[in-house]
Amino acid sequence: MRTKTAIVAVAALGLTLLLGATGCTRVRLDQTASTASKTMSKTVALDGAAHLNVNVAMGVGELTLSGLETSGTAMTGEFVYAPASWLPEITYGVTEGTGTLSVRQPESSKVQPFGRMKNTWDVRIARGIPTDLQLRLGVGTGIIDLRGVDLTSLDAITGVGETTIDLSGPRATGFGARIESGVGKLTLRLPRSVGARVTGAKDGIGEFRADGVTVSADSWVNDAWSGTGPKIDIVLNRGVGEVDIVLVD
């Protein structure tokens, strides 16, 4: 038990250092920072984009990310944060029909030692627009509901905490994904009727559970993988903790 605890602690420290080295938010202490929570609502117009590149990076907090039905809008979001230095940075621009959206917690965010901190984001991105999505989560929880989002690629690092990524529902086109689970629990919800494969799930430390999938070498596939139609092909790099794969009708 002590050995396993030590491994988890070392892995958590290593992941924290890795997140800092790869450009995720670094949190600094500030004796004078105010911890009164603030709320910001934001709407970003699609501005004629036919394709989206979306980059969401949260160093610490709770993220809910889902699809948006409203036409002509790339993103809506509501952000509750404290201290004031955690005001998210949101940028958007369109070049040759591709809209690039970035939602980030500021680099070197300052916090008051032992003060009250809050960082809750509710972000909704356009459905029906081909979308490359990049997620960088540090410490906290994430509910990533991508049902109905027309993904063309997914690149996600889940950090430290508990994250659910929901890729279920019908898919008109397939896509490739890379997911790195850090320290904690990752739940991956996949459609039963759309071909799905997860490769690399044997790596890492901790429990791995797969609902209703077959095993072939280092790959887990559902029954629909052998059929025709769109395919979801996922490379999973596991860290320390639990991974659950759940098939959804």
Least confident of 27-36, 39-48, 143-152, 222-231: 27-36
Angle at 123 between CA 118 and CA 126, to 5 degrees: 175
Domain membership of residue 240 as a residue range? 2-248
What is the sign of the dihedral through the CA atoms of 19, 21, 22 and 26? positive
pLDDT for position 206: 86
Q: How many domains does the chain have?
A: 1
pLDDT for position 208: 86
Residue 228 has pLDDT above 60, yes or no: yes
- Mean pLDDT of all residues in the chain? 85
pLDDT for position 15: 42
* Residues linked to residue 232 through DSSP beta bridges, in sequence order: 175, 196
What pTM value is reported for the model? 0.86
The tens digit of pLDDT for each residue in 142-155 reads 999 999 999 999 99
Residue 41 has pLDDT above 50, yes or no: yes
* Closest to 104 in 3D by CA, of 149, 73, 137, 151: 137
Token pair of 205 as six digits? 């430390």
Residue 224 has pLDDT above 80, yes or no: yes
